[in-house]
Chains A and B, each alone.
Chain A
Amino acid sequence: MTTISNTERGAAKVMNRTDLTQRLVARLHKDEAVVGGIGHTNWDLWASGQRPQNFYMLGSMGLAAPIALGVAVAQPDRMVFALEGDGSLLMQVGALATIATVEPANLCVIVWDNEAFHITGGQKSLTATGADIVAMARGAGLTNSTWAADEAHFESLVDEALGGTTGPRLIAARIDMTKPAGTTDRDPVKIRLNFMSGIAPPDKEG
């Protein structure tokens, strides 16, 4: 297993979002919540199996991490993941400082960086010209932010996050331009109700 902890962006392997999403989901065994950001990010989450603890965002670009922060604050005993694309994160980059300030131990933001707005035609995003998501996150105060060097390193970072003891963290992964493995069924009320029952606190069930 790779154990690089401070991989430079340029040294990180370009991986595949579908594969990494499946690797993440395969490691979830405690009803962890996952908030999938707009577009291909949540399509691949959908395609990885519709866990009731998944929330699929249909618009509101950039708000996956803030939504996940709200879930994490409301349920400090549940691990919460936010999945975002590079374009989405850059649209709401102040959220990194908010998360660093609130400091929930149970929140992990995962960013898929393909240097592009893939769904709108592959236009280059700002990470294509040098913006480094991990450097920005660290600068915002999320000191525990890391580029995934390769698939094994990604899995080890997820495992560390699932340990949940060292505060909020960010994992960034460079990904290719492969299309996602499915398409989310866009029924917002159904998505919300499934998610709410999937993460219902014990005293609020039934």
Chain B
Amino acid sequence: MSRDDGAEPWHETVIRVLKENEVDLVTYIPDNVLRELIDALHADPYFTVICPAREEEAVAIVAGAYMAGRRGIVLMQTSGFATLPNALASLVVPFQIPVVMMISERGILGEFQIGQAIVCKTMRPVLQSIGIEHHTIEEHDHVPFVVDSMIRQAFATRSPAAIILSPLLTKRPRAGAAQ
């Protein structure tokens, strides 16, 4: 847990923390910002990786797996999250199922597509209104602590969680790496 000196790319940190928390099932809907993470997950035999047709399925697969004793995480981008309120509000939240979501944030800080910029504004109000714990990671140094503690809290409290990856983390040139 000490390699937060900027040497490790964020997606490698995420993989390490998932393993430390025995999260070995990953469902995702493709996203360009998450591409390196997704590629690395596919390449790592530790993980079972499923890419379904839709985000609701991705959430339901992880929910079912949790009830059967296996830990998972769902990867998506902001617009995909916007398809989820019903599944979250009628399955994950009332049944108290710890579905951990990792969402790459589009729609801010240089977005070129107005639809993404608008749908992005729905994400935090939805999370707030149905009481889902969420935290946005902007700093590379925060990745190991935030991802680890969000996952641990989700499973300890049987609550869903949303880890939001800001463009400040995923797009900003790495000052630390250049030093």
Q: Which residues of A contact B61 (CB under 8 A)?
A: 66-67, 69-70, 73, 98
What is the bound-complex CA distance between A188 and B67, given in angstroms? 13
Q: A71-B65, A98-B57 are in contact. Are A58 and B94 (CB under 8 A)?
A: yes
Q: Which residues of A contact B54 (CB under 8 A)?
A: 92, 94-95
A70's contact among B56, B68, B89, by CB below 8 Å, is which? B68
> In angstroms, how far is the closest chain B Cβ from the Cβ of A99?
9
Query: Quick one: closest B residue to A199, CB to CB?
Result: B68
> In angstroms, how far is the closest chain A Cβ from the Cβ of B84?
10
| Residue A170 at the chain B interface, CB threshold 8 Å | no
> In angstroms, how far is the closest chain A Cβ from the Cβ of B93?
9
| Residue B173 at the chain A interface, CB threshold 8 Å | no
Q: Which residues of A contact B90 (CB under 8 A)?
A: 58-60
A60's contact among B53, B56, B67, B70, by CB below 8 Å, is which? B56
A66–B68 touching, CB < 8 Å: no
Which of chain A's residues 150-206 have a Cβ closer than 8 Å to chain B? 188-189, 191-192, 195-196, 199-201, 204
Which of chain B's residues 47-87 have a Cβ closer than 8 Å to chain A? 48, 50, 52-54, 56-57, 59-70, 72, 86-87
What is the bound-complex CA distance between A95 and B69, given in angstroms? 22
A35's contact among B48, B64, B94, by CB below 8 Å, is which? B64
| Residue A83 at the chain B interface, CB threshold 8 Å | no
Q: Which residues of B contact A57 (CB under 8 A)?
A: 91
| Residue A33 at the chain B interface, CB threshold 8 Å | yes
Q: A57-B91, A70-B64, A95-B57 are in contact. Are A204 and B96 (CB under 8 A)?
A: no
Interface residues on B, range: 20 to 34
Residue of A35, A58, A98, A204 contacting most chain B CB atoms (<10 Å)? A98
What is the bound-complex CA distance between A75 and B50, given in angstroms? 16
What is the bound-complex CA distance between A164 and B145, given in angstroms? 43
Query: Quick one: closest B residue to A38, CB to CB?
Result: B90
A33–B68 touching, CB < 8 Å: yes
| Residue A1 at the chain B interface, CB threshold 8 Å | no
B60–A67 touching, CB < 8 Å: yes
How many interface residues does A have (CB within 8 Å)?
37
Residue of A57, A94, A192, A195 contacting most chain B CB atoms (<10 Å)? A192
Which of chain A's residues 49-102 have a Cβ closer than 8 Å to chain B? 55, 57-63, 66-75, 78, 92, 94-95, 97-98, 102
B48–A71 touching, CB < 8 Å: no
Q: Which residues of A contact B87 (CB under 8 A)?
A: 60, 63
| Residue B25 at the chain A interface, CB threshold 8 Å | yes
| Residue B18 at the chain A interface, CB threshold 8 Å | no
B60–A60 touching, CB < 8 Å: yes
A195–B25 touching, CB < 8 Å: no
B64's contact among A66, A189, A200, by CB below 8 Å, is which? A66
Q: Which residues of B contact A35 (CB under 8 A)?
A: 64
B52–A70 touching, CB < 8 Å: no
| Residue B46 at the chain A interface, CB threshold 8 Å | no
B56–A74 touching, CB < 8 Å: no
B52–A60 touching, CB < 8 Å: no
> In angstroms, how far is the closest chain A Cβ from the Cβ of B72?
7
Give the interface of B toward A (CB within 8 A). Answer: 25, 48, 50, 52-54, 56-57, 59-70, 72, 86-87, 89-91, 94-97
Give the interface of A toward B (CB within 8 A). Answer: 33, 35, 55, 57-63, 66-75, 78, 92, 94-95, 97-98, 102, 188-189, 191-192, 195-196, 199-201, 204
Given contacts A73-B70, A92-B54, A98-B50, 11 further A-B contacts (CB under 8 A): A55-B67, A60-B60, A70-B60, A70-B61, A70-B66, A73-B61, A74-B66, A74-B68, A74-B70, A95-B52, A188-B95
